[in-house]
């Protein structure tokens, strides 16, 4: 395998975490010596960022190609349609755009996407087609995933145990389990100085669902009355940050609130934390289909990880990283575990040491090398 195209259907570049994920996956392939292109669809809706991806993500090693697309989401009537019709139109549009890509992708050894409908439209290409499952894939997508799983050219990647098991049932020989990873060369820890710093850096919602950050910060505010620590919150969307800032209007402690920062500034800000929160709720998507990159980033940045005990978090405990859990359904549990970490320096140091010892096994480079080797092995039986 010498080259690969990452195919993105939808808004790109995007302020959402998905955009950073694309760049990280691309970087993992680059470090394995592949030429990497990102092919993305042109959009026209109100949330489109009209900036070149190379400038937005500050990455000159990836080749970006914008391919024209009819953006159904920009139509006025689209927003008033029932959700199931929106999903159907979205997926039919993805298949239509995928068919359009057939004339562009014959030069690639492999293509990768989290959208099965786009890959389904690439029937004429004989390259490896890698589908990475990032959601339940209900209704029409479920039908499409079942269809592509029967094709010998498709590789199926599950990033959680739930997604892997679902794909394995469709085609055991073509399915592989790979968690997300981290670029340890950018997320480098520092020697901590000053007050203990507790916080969260990242988007505060996914697919429109709240990530539980506001709830966690209300508990931090309460603890700030009795314990001496700094609070940090950096992310977006802006209105969500403003909500939490308003909660701290009369707070007397040390706080740092910022809106979303450029991707290349995230590692430095993350390294300033001592305890990083991953307080995601027991939402269907986050519990079963989201392999949180944030856990890997915190672990690499020399930060204690305090995560909710939802399924997709707890299953990462097998990786031997320094993750400490609280009961997602119980505010008292979150409060107690925060107090435990604040007051027990030895516990914090042991968790960080555990991450330092094992995080090197979960780089994007290693992850994607495993995927490349799996593709080659599967093609020769």
The predicted-structure confidence for 276-297, as pLDDT tens digits, reads as follows 999 999 999 999 998 899 999 9
Q: In the predicted model, is pLDDT for residue 301 greater than 70? A: yes
Contacts (Cβ under 8 Å, ≥6 apart) of 77: none
Distance between CA atoms of residues 264 and 57, nearest Å = 8
SS3 percent helix, strand, coil of the chain, rounded to 5, is 45, 20, 35
pLDDT of 191 reads 67
| 196-360 and 3-181+364-379 share a CATH fold | yes
Please report, for the chain, the start and end positions of each structural domain, with discontinuous segments joined by +.
Answer: 3-181+364-379, 196-360
Distance between CA atoms of residues 172 and 13, nearest Å = 34
pLDDT-derived band of residue 304, with 50, 70 and 90 as boundaries? very high
Of all residues in the chain, the percent with pLDDT exceeding 70 is 98
Distance between CA atoms of residues 317 and 178, nearest Å = 15
Cβ count within 10 A of residue 150:
10
Fold of 196-360: Rossmann fold (3.40.50)
The predicted-structure confidence for 47-72, as pLDDT tens digits, reads as follows 778 889 999 998 999 999 999 998 88
Residue 240 to residues 47, 113, 216: CA-CA distances in angstroms? Answer: 16, 29, 13
Q: Sign of torsion, CA 106 112 116 117?
A: negative
pLDDT-derived band of residue 124, with 50, 70 and 90 as boundaries? low
For residue 134, what is the DSSP state? Answer: -
Would you say the pTM of this structure is higher than 0.95? no
pLDDT of 94 reads 94
Distance between CA atoms of residues 277 and 307, nearest Å = 6
Angle separating helix axes 83-101 and 139-149, nearest 10 degrees: 30
The predicted-structure confidence for 308-363, as pLDDT tens digits, reads as follows 999 999 999 999 999 999 999 999 999 999 999 999 999 999 999 999 999 999 99
Architecture per CATH, domain 3-181+364-379, reads as 3-Layer(aba) Sandwich (3.40)
Q: Residue 125: is it exposed, middle or buried by C-beta count within 10 angstroms (0-12/13-18/19+)?
A: buried
For residue 5, what is the DSSP state? Answer: E
Contact by Cβ (8 Å): 270, 297: yes
User: What is the distance of C-alpha 21 from the center of its chain?
Assistant: 5
């Amino acid at each position: 395998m010498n080259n690969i195209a990452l195919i993105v259907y939808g808004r790109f570049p995007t302020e959402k975490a998905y955009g950073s994920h694309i760049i990280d996956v691309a970087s993992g392939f680059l470090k394995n010596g592949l030429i990497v292109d990102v092919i993305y669809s042109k959009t026209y809706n109100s949330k489109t960022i009209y900036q070149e991806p190379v400038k937005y993500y500050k990455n000159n090693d990836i080749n970006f190609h914008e391919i024209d697309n009819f953006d159904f989401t920009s139509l006025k009537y689209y927003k008033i349609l029932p959700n199931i019709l929106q999903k159907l139109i979205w997926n039919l549009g993805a298949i239509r755009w995928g068919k359009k890509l057939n004339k562009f992708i014959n030069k690639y050894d492999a293509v990768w996407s989290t959208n099965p409908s786009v890959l389904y439209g690439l029937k004429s290409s004989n390259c490896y087609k890698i589908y990475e499952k990032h959601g339940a894939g209900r209704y029409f997508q479920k039908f499409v995933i079942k269809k592509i799983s029967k094709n010998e050219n498709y590789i199926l990647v599950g990033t959680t145990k739930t997604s892997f098991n679902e794909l394995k049932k469709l085609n055991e020989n073509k399915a592989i389990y790979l968690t997300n990873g981290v670029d340890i060369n950018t997320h480098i820890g520092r020697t901590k100085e000053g007050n203990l710093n507790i916080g969260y850096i990242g988007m505060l919602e996914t697919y429109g669902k709240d990530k539980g950050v506001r709830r966690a910060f209300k508990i931090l505010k309460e603890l700030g009355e009795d314990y001496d620590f700094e609070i940090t919150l950096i992310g977006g969307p802006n209105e969500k940050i403003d909500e939490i800032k308003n909660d701290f209007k009369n707070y007397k402690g040390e706080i740092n609130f910022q809106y979303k920062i450029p991707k290349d500034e995230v590692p430095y800000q993350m390294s300033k934390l001592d305890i990083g929160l991953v307080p995601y709720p027991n939402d269907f998507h986050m519990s079963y289909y989201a392999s949180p990159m944030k856990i890997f980033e915190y672990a690499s940045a020399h930060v204690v990880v305090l995560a909710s005990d939802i399924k997709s978090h707890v299953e990462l405990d097998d990786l031997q990283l320094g993750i400490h859990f609280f009961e997602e359904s119980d505010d008292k549990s979150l409060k107690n575990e925060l107090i435990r970490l604040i007051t027990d320096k030895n516990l914090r140091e042991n968790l960080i040491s555990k991450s330092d010892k094992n995080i090197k096994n979960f780089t994007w480079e290693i992850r994607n090398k495993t995927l490349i080797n799996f593709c080659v092995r599967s093609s020769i039986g």
